[in-house]
Amino acid sequence: MGVSLLSSPAFLVFFSFFTFCLLVDPVLGITRHYKFDVKLHNVTRLCHTRSIVSVNGQFPGPRIVAREGDQLLIKVVNHVPNNVSIHCSKLNAMVMYF
């Protein structure tokens, strides 16, 4: 009577570890947090002063850096009396929550 290799504890541990390694997604991202303060900013160009909408004091707004698999949490605080909209170019998102 021989002992079956398939029923040995060492084989089961090895098989479980090997299966787990195959099923894990190789792209593991992190959560990146951004806060955008939208305010009016006075800018003088060619002797004319105008109010423009800036994000964190920048125009155009700040750059968002993310890698595949990352989760982005972006908080937008509007300090402008009018409504604003945020446009993200070159963004390929699977799901967007508003």
Residue 47 forms part of a structural domain? yes
Contact (Cβ atoms closer than 8 angstroms) between residue 55 and residue 36? yes
Residue 31 lies in a domain: yes
Q: For residue 45, what is the domain's CATH number?
A: 2.60.40.420
Residue 31 has φ and ψ, to the nearest 5°, of: -95, 125
Domain extent at residue 46: 27-78
22 found inside a domain = no
Domain count of the fold of the chain: 1
Q: Give percent of the chain above pLDDT 70.
A: 69
Residue 14 lies in a domain: no
Residue 20 resides in a domain: no
Answer yes or no: is 89 within a domain: no
pLDDT band at 27 (very low <50, low <70, confident <90, very high): low
Task: Answer whether residue 55 is part of any domain.
Answer: yes
* Alpha carbon of residue 76 to chain centroid: 14
For 64-92, the pLDDT digits (tens) are 888 888 888 889 999 999 888 877 776 66
Q: What angle do CA 75, 76, 81 make, to 5 degrees?
A: 155
